[in-house]
């Protein structure tokens, strides 16, 4: 149970960001007496600076050619080393 919490909250409905519909910001207790216009403009400025969140970046799908190019050199070097050791021993 939570009780005794009193916070000043600013809710921005127009975020001007394609990813976010609205933002809810909690004002620090030492700035609760600051004018609403100053807090609101600081909140809008902060929201304008945010870009797309990194968790929404699409994962790259890599095809068989990518994995073949990554594993082929290792497989060939292993085969070459095995052949050289087999011939020498």
Report if residue 57 sits inside a domain.
no
Tally the residues of the chain. Answer: 89
Residue 1's pLDDT is 47
Question: Range of 80's domain?
Answer: 8-52+62-88
Residue 26's pLDDT is 87
Report if residue 15 sits inside a domain.
yes
| Residues 78, 84, 86, 88, Cα dihedral to 10° | -150
Report if residue 40 sits inside a domain.
yes
Residue 3: C-alpha distances to residues 24, 27, 30 (Å): 20, 18, 20
Q: How far is the C-alpha of 46 from the C-alpha of 68, rounded, in Å?
A: 45
Can you give the pLDDT of all 89 residues of the chain as single tens digits?
445 566 788 888 887 777 778 888 888 888 888 888 888 888 888 877 776 666 555 566 677 888 888 899 999 999 999 999 999 88
Residue 73's pLDDT is 93
Q: How far is the C-alpha of 13 from the C-alpha of 16, rounded, in Å?
A: 9
Report if residue 2 sits inside a domain.
no
Number of domains the chain contains: 1
Structure-token pair, residue 25: 């910001």
Report if residue 83 sits inside a domain.
yes
**What pairing do the DSSP bridges indicate for beta strands 8-12 and 23-27?**
antiparallel
Residue 57's pLDDT is 56
């Amino acid at each position: 149970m939570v009780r005794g919490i009193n916070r000043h909250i600013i809710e921005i409905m127009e975020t001007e960001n394609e990813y976010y519909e609205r933002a809810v910001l909690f004002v620090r207790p030492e700035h609760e007496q600051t004018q609403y216009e100053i807090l609101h403009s600081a909140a809008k400025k902060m929201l304008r600076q945010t870009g797309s969140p990194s968790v929404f970046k699409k994962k790259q799908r890599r095809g068989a050619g990518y994995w073949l190019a990554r594993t082929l050199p290792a497989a060939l070097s292993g085969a070459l080393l095995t052949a050289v050791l087999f011939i020498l021993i």
